[in-house]
Homo-oligomer: A and B are copies of this chain.
Amino acid sequence: MASSIHDLARHLNISIGTVSRALNGRADVNADTRRRVLDAAKELNYSPNQSGRSLRQGATRSIAFMLQPHPGDQQYGEPFFIPFLIGLQAKLAEHDLDLMVVMGEPGQYQQERLRRVVETRRADAVVLANTRREDDRIDYLSKAGFPFATLGRSRSGGDTYPSLDIDFERAGDEAVERLVARGHRRIAAIRPSLDLNFGYLFLDGYRKALKRHGIEVDPDLIADGFINETGGYQVTPQVMRSKDPPTAIIFNNDAMALGGCKALAEMGIRPGHDMAVIVIVDTPLCRYFSPTLTAFRPALEAMGRRLAEMLLASLPAFAGPEGTRIIREVWPLELIARESD
């Protein structure tokens, strides 16, 4: 069924070496011979077997994308990652690279799946998502000398790998800026309690902007919750119990915002009327919720394409003449003004 390079060579009465060179565009093959080989390849419907190539060249031409569920949950933060994945895959496809999706199992030792990919050499590089502040996957890959890039910054591993992140600090800053401009002084911040770096970055921006406006940072208005709807629902009443309650809340996650709005509704507080709400990192849900939620939106698909480029630029096999470059970028978000603030 599957024709091999031997079949092709036999059919043309030439050696497999020449066939291979012809197909791979090498210079030392006669123009006429090359044409005959290419024609015959089309006729016999020949494509080189990837396993054979991989073995010989020591490269699989596939990139693994690893998603890690949040501990204690089976959520991966999907609505966020899908557009990113689409962009990533599109750019990789341009380079004839395949994308393998690896998901850590909820509640299992996370590195298991990653190790398997790395040790059995199933992929040439890895893209990590859900980056933690301290991320043992990064430590492992660094130590193993395995190429990788991350979506999100981490403290682990130094500046030795490409990374692409959203400017959460600036988003936190701008959110405060916008609310202050609309007259708010009591602004709460609700973020995930996990060791996710963006929660810290967001809060840095939030604090910075408050200070710039001479507003005291009130610890009672800052709360951490689990990064899903339930988390937002549970933690929002906490900031409302402050002796001087907020008039605005910035949520660092869409799901938490939805849960938070539910909690507010139960307290008789209407987001968009009695309470300004801003979400950092927009997802489709923000657009359809009632009231529609003002949110900061990243260009996720473009980011997927960009991170693929950055990863490729760091791989010796793909890097251009200027050699291997480690690039790190932080992208701004776009404010989508809606009804909730």
Chain A interface residues toward B at CB < 8 A? 1-2, 45, 47-52, 54-55, 60, 62, 76, 78-79, 82, 85-86, 89-90, 93, 98-103, 105, 113, 116-117, 119-122, 145, 258, 284-285, 288-290
Contacts and interface: CB of A to CB of B under 8 A. Distances in A.
24 contacts: A2-B121, A47-B119, A48-B120, A49-B120, A49-B121, A50-B120, A50-B121, A50-B122, A54-B54, A76-B86, A78-B82, A79-B284, A82-B82, A85-B101, A90-B105, A93-B113, A98-B100, A98-B102, A98-B122, A99-B100, A99-B101, A100-B100, A100-B101, A101-B101
Contacts of A85: 101
Nearest to A94: B105
Contacts of A116: 47
Contacts of A47: 116, 119-120
A103 B289 CA distance: 29
B45 A51 contact: no
B51 A55 contact: yes
A86 to B, nearest CB: 7
A251 to B, nearest CB: 14
A56 to B, nearest CB: 9
Nearest to A74: B86
Contacts of A51: 51, 54-55, 60, 121
Q: What copy number does this chain have within its complex? A: 2
Contacts of A89: 101, 103
Contacts of A1: 145
A192 to B, nearest CB: 19
Which 4 residue pairs spanning A and B have beta carbons closest together?
A290-B290, A51-B54, A47-B119, A51-B55
Given A52-B55, A90-B103, 17 more contacts: A1-B145, A49-B120, A50-B120, A50-B121, A54-B54, A62-B100, A62-B122, A76-B86, A78-B82, A79-B79, A86-B103, A90-B105, A93-B113, A98-B122, A99-B100, A99-B102, A290-B290
A288 B45 contact: no
Nearest to A85: B101
A9 B184 CA distance: 71
Contacts of A101: 85, 89, 99-101
A105 B93 CA distance: 9
Given A100-B62, A101-B101, A288 B258 contact: yes
